[in-house]
Amino acid sequence: MKTTPTTVRLDDDLKKQLTKQLKSMGLSINGYFNLAARQLVIQKKVPFEVLSESDVPTEATKKAIVTAQAKELGILPDDAPTFNSVDELKTYLDKA
């Protein structure tokens, strides 16, 4: 089977972590990418679940969620402007 050289750019820290994890499984980076590529072709989808690093919201997100919930429950007044058209929105933004 003929192979084609391919370059993959990775963050240095990510490459170190990836190499360490793959080594513990007996795989190289090249072997892993070949495995993932073959599975994508066979399954016709990404062959693994894609997860975010953390499902824990940031402090800013937590505050925004609490504020939105408080407004929804009527604990805080919802003083956000509403608009019936794009023109109304544009006029409001021009005044700001």
Query: Who's near 32: CB < 8 A, 6+ residues apart?
Result: 18, 22
Domain ranges for the chain, please list them.
67-95
Q: What percent of the chain has pLDDT over 70?
A: 100
Q: How does pLDDT run across 38-48, given as a tens digit for each residue? A: 999 999 999 98
pLDDT band per the 50, 70, 90 thresholds, residue 60: very high
- Residue 53: predicted pLDDT: 76
Of all residues in the chain, the percent with pLDDT exceeding 90 is 80
